[in-house]
Chains A and B, each alone.
Chain A
Amino acid sequence: MVKEVERAGIPVVHICTVVPISLTVGANRIVPAIAIPHPLGDPKLDPKDEKALRRKLVEKALEALCTEVDGQTVFDK
């Protein structure tokens, strides 16, 4: 799906937990997530901290979308 969105001419960022799969699939902008059943959350945290964590990941994804890339790039910093 990532590749088809990209093919349609829309920049896309893939937020996913298993980065090697995303690389194999061919995503160009990749942001590693927290865990498979809750990629953008952590049920162990209290709701406020969990939302802050989610916000950080989304901000990183937006940053990835605002960054020119030359081939597959994992935004893990």
Chain B
Amino acid sequence: MAKYRVVHYINQFFAGIGGEEKAGHRPEVREKIVGPGLALNAGFKGEAEIVATVVCGDSYFNENLEEAKKEILGMVKKYNPDLFVAGPAFNAGRYGVACGTIADAVQSELGIPSISGMYIENPGADMFKSKTYIISTRDSAAGMRDAVAKLVPLALKLVKKEPIGSPEEEGYLERGIRKNYFAEQRGSERAVDMLINKLKGEEFTTEYPMPNFDRVEPNSAIKVLNEATIALVTSGGIVPKGNPDHIEASSASKYGKYDIEGIEDLTEDTFETAHGGYDPVYANKDADRVLPVDVLRDLEKEGKIGKLHRYYYATVGNGTSVANAKSYAAEFSKELKQDGVDAVILTST
């Protein structure tokens, strides 16, 4: 029997091209197995084979979404694969968005079954889990073996058009799809069992999980801009030179609050980025490119805004858990409110 043909998508890092300094790498095809493709291909045990690997830089993909998608679709199509695998991307945000975007596109536009793998907090997971199968992985590449072990069987089932089990059975992220089945016990019994478990404080699994829409309504606009106090916040890791609070380059465990009174311009000698998830060259040279202090000072002097708040807040948004980011922001937002800040400009890289 002929082997199923697989095209694999990976980023510049997993292809061994380089880290953030190479994130602008344009899409290219290699007619061989690259990086994590080795584990994947071995997992297929001869049933399927990677015939080509598409490599693209994470920043290139995310900054040129439509173009990159078109280019890569063309590359994939050329190899006429039976299956498309993207990633796994673990908790790498831009990589996750790239994997989800391209897996979804290959599936919907070329009709080729696609699969990816991500950590549940990867923004790409929320964006694409309802559109394509995404294996639930750990938050770093240390979980590669486990990811491959779950990805391979599901991928083969997709190619062979075999029935796909529930997210728990197959290890993919819930897609919000409900499937009818014949239960052994009728609904009333199951409901009472659940209730009893709940009353006893034991575990129970709802059959109808509510979607989690955590949305916050927008606040009213600023009424008088030239009287307003504007504060800056960034997830781009801009810190005073030397990173006095030692904010980590990834999975930040804290945020910093920094006094910018009297500072007109962020310079190479005074500020830098602590962020390890993007090429730091441009921000280290001129941190205003991430935290626009210079321009806000001008606007302050010209009377366009009331004033720039004395402190700015910064953390590194790179693999930082949602729970942490949430608690940092809840804490400093309270301070901002107490300090009479009227509005916030939050910048992200």
- Does B218 interact with chain A (Cβ within 8 Å)? yes
Cβ contact within 8 Å between A18 and B62: yes
Cβ contact within 8 Å between A37 and B280: yes
Number of interface residues, chain A, beta carbon within 8 A: 53
Tell me, in angstroms, the Cα distance from A54 to B265 when the chains sit together: 13
Given contacts A5-B336, A8-B333, A62-B305, contact A20 B292 (CB under 8 A): no
Cβ contact within 8 Å between B337 and A51: no
* Residues of A18-69 whose CB lies within 8 A of B: 18, 20-22, 24-29, 33, 35-41, 43, 50-51, 54-55, 57-59, 61-62, 65-69
Contact of A67 among B127, B221, B289, B342 (CB under 8 A): B221
Cβ contact within 8 Å between A6 and B216: yes
Chain B 285-324, CB-CB to A under 8 Å as 1, else 0, gives: 1101111101110110000110000000001010000000
Q: Name which of B3-11, B183-191, B230-238 contacts chain A.
A: B230-238
Contact of A36 among B94, B123, B230 (CB under 8 A): B94
- Does B330 interact with chain A (Cβ within 8 Å)? yes
Number of interface residues, chain B, beta carbon within 8 A: 67
Contacting residues, chain B, for A14 (C-beta < 8 A): 346-348
Chain B residue nearest in CB terms to A12? B344
- Does B215 interact with chain A (Cβ within 8 Å)? yes
Contact of B123 among A17, A24, A27 (CB under 8 A): A24
Chain A residue nearest in CB terms to B348? A16
Contacting residues, chain A, for B233 (C-beta < 8 A): 1, 5, 12
- Does A7 interact with chain B (Cβ within 8 Å)? yes
Given contacts A15-B345, A16-B348, A58-B295, contact A8 B289 (CB under 8 A): no
Cβ contact within 8 Å between A8 and B337: yes
Cβ contact within 8 Å between A38 and B289: yes
Cβ contact within 8 Å between B289 and A54: yes
Given contacts A18-B97, A37-B20, A37-B280, contact A10 B294 (CB under 8 A): no
Contacting residues, chain B, for A50 (C-beta < 8 A): 289
Chain A residue nearest in CB terms to B280? A37
Contacting residues, chain A, for B325 (C-beta < 8 A): 1
Tell me, in angstroms, the Cα distance from A73 to B296 when the chains sit together: 23
Complex A-B: 19 CB contacts under 8 Å: A1-B346, A3-B214, A3-B215, A4-B333, A8-B330, A11-B218, A11-B344, A14-B347, A15-B345, A15-B348, A18-B63, A28-B216, A36-B59, A36-B349, A37-B280, A37-B282, A40-B288, A40-B347, A55-B299
Given contacts A1-B326, A54-B288, 6 further A-B contacts (CB under 8 A): A5-B333, A6-B219, A11-B221, A15-B347, A16-B348, A62-B304
